[in-house]
Amino acid sequence: MRHLEEYLRSLEGKRILVLGMGVSNQPLLRLLLSHGLDVTACDKANTPELRAFADLGAKLNLGEHYLEHLSADVVFRTPGMHPGRPELVRLQEQGAVLTSEMEAFFEVCPCRMIAVTGSDGKTTTTTLISELLRQAGHRVFVGGNIGRPLLDQADQMRPEDFAVLELSSFQLMTMQASPQIAVVTNLAPNHLDVHKDMEEYVQAKKNIFLHQGPDDLLVLNQDNAITRDFAPEARGSLRRFSRQERLEDGLWDDGNAIRRGEAVVIRHEDILLPGVHNLENYMAAICAVQDYISDEDVRAVAARFGGVEHRIELCREKDGVRYYNDSIASSPSRTIAGLRSFSQKLILIAGGYDKHIPYDVLGPEITAHVKHLVLTGATAGKIRAAVEAAPDYAPGSPVIEEYEDFAQAVRAAALAAEPGDMVILSPASASFDKFKNFMERGETFKRLVAAL
């Protein structure tokens, strides 16, 4: 473990490339430049905001050809940039060290690290872990794929603190270290527009625990076939959670309460956050931190924690209709979890950017839980095909409409709604066909709903 200042000194005299000048790398850029290091920042965009980094001392390589004619000793890649890109491979062949802001943070973090990955539930589980620790009186830093990068805060952390991290498959692909506590919520096909295949995606996720030691802890979802099979590869202690079977080495759910052995940790009725998938998120979070909190802390958090923005977020009730923003649902499994959170049939707005993942599993769930389906975006046709191929589908059940324009889709859903109905944006697709990210999509939905 190195102190942050020591790590930065090790970069003196080296040519540093920062590839991607988005939100995750801007604090890194400022940190490197504040120490007078030789930094070239590269980005496909060429905006005044990015050009302003020249005033801080950065050399800039902006525009369409930003990855051409580069040389460096150290390369920080942005998380979404595949390490197998020819330009990155060429830099490594020339002797450059490929790293990232998160990998550097793992080198210098002075406190205990808890990291969460998975296809669904990462953000809610990460947030729950931080809320539980804070309820118990611990000092917590939250970052990674949620919140903000943490490298520039490492010198503020004390050994007794906790760094709670959400890690994506992109961040984990080249990771050579693992946290003391690793959580894998679940795994299903995702991001296959970036990963070359499902095997690469799963292998990236496994990096969260493959570098652990015998004193470390791995938390796994026993009900998910992929994560269940990770158990024999655990390097330290293993703790599991399940809604389907009783477990002796973790938490299980009896249909009415989450239990540890026979002891009740918390009853469903005492959890404010709706949805059976959130029971799994609670179990994952409690498994991760039960050595540092009490069950009373769990009950205190559960009574007040209403969820994270863009995750089945109730954003308005108008004329007896409730509108929910579940823009985070960028995969079929995530949308399925959202649909199952309600006891009545919904009006669903779905569709978006195509990540080249299968939608066949979504069809039967929509026929079971949706009475009116409004589709938009690049995946509209795929989702329609999956619904119409479902065994229980009959024309008009659900009603299916398609709109190219997102605002038109929202208005159509509102027009279809009657008092007592629930309208949910849960796209089962990424947002990049029309929005910068799922947050912008969710904010747009909320603005449109507010203007109805």
Identify the CATH number of the domain in which residue 28 sits. 3.40.50.720
| Domain co-membership, 120 together with 152 | yes
Domain count within the chain: 3
| Domain co-membership, 275 together with 318 | no
pLDDT score of 274: 80
pLDDT score of 307: 76
pLDDT score of 306: 76
| Domain co-membership, 437 together with 403 | yes
| Domain co-membership, 341 together with 287 | no
Residue numbers in the chain where pLDDT is lower than 50: none
Alpha helices in 136-268 (DSSP H): 169-172, 198-210, 225-228
217/226 Cα distance (integer angstroms): 18
Q: Which of 316, 371, 322, 326 is nearest to 352 (CA)?
A: 326
Question: Exposed, middle or buried: residue 361 (CB in 10 Å: 0-12, 13-18, 19+)?
Answer: middle
Q: What is the CA radius of gyration of the chain?
A: 23
pLDDT score of 195: 57
| Domain co-membership, 260 together with 166 | yes
Residue 425 CA, chain-centre distance (Å), reads 18
Beta bridge partners of 313: 325
Q: Which of 68, 99, 130 is the last residue of a domain?
A: 99
**Residue 351, both tokens:** 């569709």
| Domain co-membership, 162 together with 297 | yes
Report the percent of the chain where pLDDT is more than 70.
98
Amino acid identity of residue 108, one-letter, is V
Q: Which of 239, 273, 304 is the last residue of a domain?
A: 304
pLDDT score of 79: 84
Q: Name the one residue in this structure whose structure tokens are 């496909």.
A: 44
pLDDT score of 193: 58
Domain that holds residue 73: 4-99
Contact indicator for 16, 40 with CB cutoff of 8 Å: yes
pLDDT score of 441: 97
| Domain co-membership, 77 together with 140 | no
Alpha helices in 290-379 (DSSP H): 295-304, 332-339, 362-369
| Domain co-membership, 208 together with 169 | yes
pTM for the whole thing? 0.77
Beta bridge partners of 178: none
| Domain co-membership, 63 together with 114 | no
Contact indicator for 149, 167 with CB cutoff of 8 Å: no
pLDDT score of 191: 55
